[in-house]
């Protein structure tokens, strides 16, 4: 099974910006100085393990990851 692309979405309604995702995958998620969460919607596949760790660790279970 070859995977070519990963798409990350964060449910803004669920997300309370705890920043656990940034601790797990700083290359993809980042809390900004004004308290918002910035993230790459289509990060490189090499970040996949970290992104999945972030999704699993999210206190609000707000991160959705799709790999095709």
Partner 1 sequence: MSRRIERIVVAGAGLAGMRAAERLRELGFTGELVLVGAERHRPYHRPALSKQFLAGDLGPRDLTLSCYADLDATWRLGETVRRLDARRQLVQIGRGKPLRYDGLVIATGVRARRTADAPDDPRVLTLRTIDDATALQRLLRADDRPCVIIGGGFTASELASTLAEQGRDVVLASRSGRLLGALGPEVGHAVARLHEDHGVRTWLDATVQHWVPGDWGIGLHFTNGQFLVAGSVVLAVGGEPDTAWLAGSGADHSDGVLCERTCHVAGVRDVVAAGDVARWPVRPGHPPRRVEHWLNAVEMGRAAARNLLSGRAAAIPFEPLPRFWSEHYGERFQAAGFVGPGQTRMSLEGDVTNGPGVLGYYQRGALVGVVARENPRGILRWTAELDHRLARRGGRHRLPEPLTA
Whether the CA torsion 64, 43, 34, 22 is positive or negative: it is positive
Tell me the per-residue interface mask from 1 to 40 with partner 1, x by CB under 8 A, - otherwise. Answer: -------------x-xxxxx-xxx-x---xx-x-x-----
Q: Closest distance between partner 1 and the C-beta of residue 50, in Å?
A: 9
Q: Does 61 participate in binding partner 1 (rule CB under 8 A)? A: yes
Two tokens at 54?
């972030």
Residues 40, 8: contact at Cβ < 8 Å? yes
# chain residues binding partner 1, by CB under 8 A: 23
């Amino acid at each position: 099974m070859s995977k070519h692309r990963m798409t990350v979405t964060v449910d803004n309604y669920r997300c309370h910006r705890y920043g656990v995702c940034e601790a797990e995958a700083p290359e993809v998620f980042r809390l900004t100085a004004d308290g918002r969460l910035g993230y790459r919607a289509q990060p490189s596949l090499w970040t996949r393990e970290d992104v999945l760790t972030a999704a699993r660790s999210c206190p609000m279970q707000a991160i959705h990851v799709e790999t095709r």
